[in-house]
Amino acid sequence: MDWETGDVYLDENNNTVQVNNTRGFRQILSGVFNCDLGSEPFNSEYGFDLKSALRESGTEDSEMFIESLVADALNEKNEKLISKVDYIKATRINNEMHVAIEVTSVLSDTIMFENILG
């Protein structure tokens, strides 16, 4: 366990690995997308509206709607470690919606990753 972030990270052999700021921030962003919108009792705006995203990702021209859901989930007021959202781009590839994201933390770590919906 990382004593600064409280997060546990296991390598491919299930050994614990020290979590640095960048990895910890990546885990926090992953947590945002794996938390249902409205499921946090003291912050109903925290989380990602996956149900709406999955429902809309199958319709034509839904990229802008998906991007707005992602922007709402990455709101700096809901996740205090986010300094700014640099880039969000949703692209349909076959039946999947690929969402590329770049986010900067308050510690100036920039994370780029891609989520796949569908």
Instruction: Name every residue whose Cβ is closer than 8 Å to that of residue 103 and which is 6 or more positions away in sequence.
Output: 29, 74, 82, 84, 85, 86, 110, 111
Q: Is residue 18 part of a domain?
A: no
Query: Which DSSP string do the residues of 16-82 spell out, in sequence order?
Result: B----HHHHHHHHHHHHHTSBTT-STT-TT-SB-HHHHHHHHTSTT-HHHHHHHHHHHT-TTTSTTE
In a domain, 9, yes or no: no
Please give the pLDDT value at position 103.
Answer: 95
Tell me which residue range forms the domain holding 58: 23-117
HSE (CB half, 13 Å, CA atoms) of 2? 17
Query: Token pair for residue 30?
Result: 């992953």
Look at residue 13 and tell me if it is in a domain. no
Number of domains in the chain: 1
In a domain, 6, yes or no: no
pLDDT of residue 88: 95
Which pLDDT score, from 0 to 100, does residue 7 have?
60
Residue among 19, 30, 118, 21 at smallest CA distance from 74: 30
**Tens of each residue's pLDDT in the chain, 118 residues:** 555 555 666 777 888 777 778 888 888 888 888 888 888 888 888 888 888 888 887 777 889 999 999 999 999 888 889 999 999 999 988 878 899 999 999 999 999 988 887 6
Q: Which pLDDT value is given to residue 67?
A: 92
Mean pLDDT value across the chain:
84
CATH code (residue 76)? 3.10.450.40
Query: Is residue 49 assigned to a domain?
Result: yes
Provide the pLDDT for residue 70.
92
Residue 83 belongs to some domain of the structure: yes
